[in-house]
């Protein structure tokens, strides 16, 4: 926690594949306009050399696309700061005090590991998947967050490093739930602060190649890595029920079940099941790790 009147020090990690030059420029401009924080920004080229980066910003070039969570892990190791902000390259902070307001929550509560702003399309629409809690119909209602929307989130660096960072091998999807669960299992909490808004286009996640396969595979990995054995079948059964209810296209279902099977065959990483105390804490916070 910062002491005295020193400005919060924030390391900002932005990924690029050089496919959104205009959006990236706007994202970086909104970060550089932030006031009330000491900001250190790095742009990570995921399988490319970052192009069009303003003078004064550092870049890292990865020879291949290692996925979003691992790219962010790389970036986190390249910036200074007591806190880390992970920022999508098509997001924009519409006010100059957004990061300072988020950081103030971390300064006020040492148990708080991450703060999630309200993500909204410029027209004001907030998708349900951007609200990090159940009963997401009212995105203006803040409170405790037991998961996170990975696109824009401020994380206490010491807590992030304590739990080992993002699950890099996930490549894409569910990495925010994995990180949040591990933070909670180490005694931390999260908070959703809808009074701080960040703009992000309301695109569909199905635009990503491999969406159905990776979502299903990572859901299995998430449960196998983090849950007590008795809860794994209940968690995955609830996911299957929701998938069957929501997915109407036959090919999407087939690919989902292929990913589900891959999750059982593949290497999900280190298993560290959360304690039953954490299960109770998550349940009391309104989101038992079953759904």
Mean pLDDT of 256-264: 94
And the tokens for 280? 């109770």
- Domain residue spans of the chain: 9-203, 206-270
The pLDDT tens digits of the residues spanning 45-60 come to 999 999 999 999 999 9
What are the φ/ψ torsions at residue 255 (nearest 5 degrees)? Answer: -65, -35
- Its pTM stands at 0.94
The pLDDT tens digits of the residues spanning 179-202 come to 999 999 999 999 999 999 999 998
Q: Tell me which CATH code domain 9-203 carries.
A: 3.90.550.10
Residues 6+ apart with CB under 8 A from 66: 46, 47, 74, 168, 171
DSSP-based three-state secondary structure for 155: strand
41 and 31 in contact (C-beta within 8 Å)? yes
């Amino acid at each position: 926690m910062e002491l005295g009147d020193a400005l919060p020090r924030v390391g900002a990690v932005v990924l690029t594949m050089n496919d959104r030059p205009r959006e990236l420029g706007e994202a970086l401009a909104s970060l550089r306009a932030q006031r009330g924080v000491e900001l250190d920004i790095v742009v990570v080229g995921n399988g490319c050399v970052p192009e069009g980066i303003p003078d004064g910003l550092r870049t890292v070039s990865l020879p291949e696309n290692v996925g979003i969570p691992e790219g962010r892990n790389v970036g986190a190791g390249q910036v200074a700061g007591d806190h880390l902000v992970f920022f999508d390259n098509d997001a924009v902070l519409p006010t100059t005090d957004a990061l300072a307001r988020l950081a103030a929550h971390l300064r006020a509560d040492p148990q708080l590991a991450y703060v999630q702003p309200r993500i909204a399309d410029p027209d004001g629409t907030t998708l349900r998947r951007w609200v990090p809690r159940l009963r997401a119909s009212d995105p203006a209602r803040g409170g405790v967050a037991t998961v996170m929307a990975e696109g824009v989130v401020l994380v206490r660096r010491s807590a992030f490093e304590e739990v080992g960072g993002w699950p890099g091998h996930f490549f894409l999807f569910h990495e925010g739930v994995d990180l949040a669960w591990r933070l909670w299992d180490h005694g931390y909490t999260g908070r959703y602060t809808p009074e701080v808004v960040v703009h992000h286009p309301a695109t569909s996640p199905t635009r990503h190649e491999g969406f159905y396969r990776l979502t299903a595979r990572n859901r299995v990995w998430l449960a196998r890595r983090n849950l007590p054995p008795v809860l794994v079948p209940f968690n995955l059964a609830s996911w299957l029920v929701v998938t069957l209810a929501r997915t109407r296209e036959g090919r999407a279902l087939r690919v989902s079940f292929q990913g589900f099977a891959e999750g059982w065959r593949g290497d999900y990483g280190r298993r560290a099941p959360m304690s039953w105390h954490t299960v109770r804490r998550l349940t009391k916070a309104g989101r038992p790790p079953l759904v």
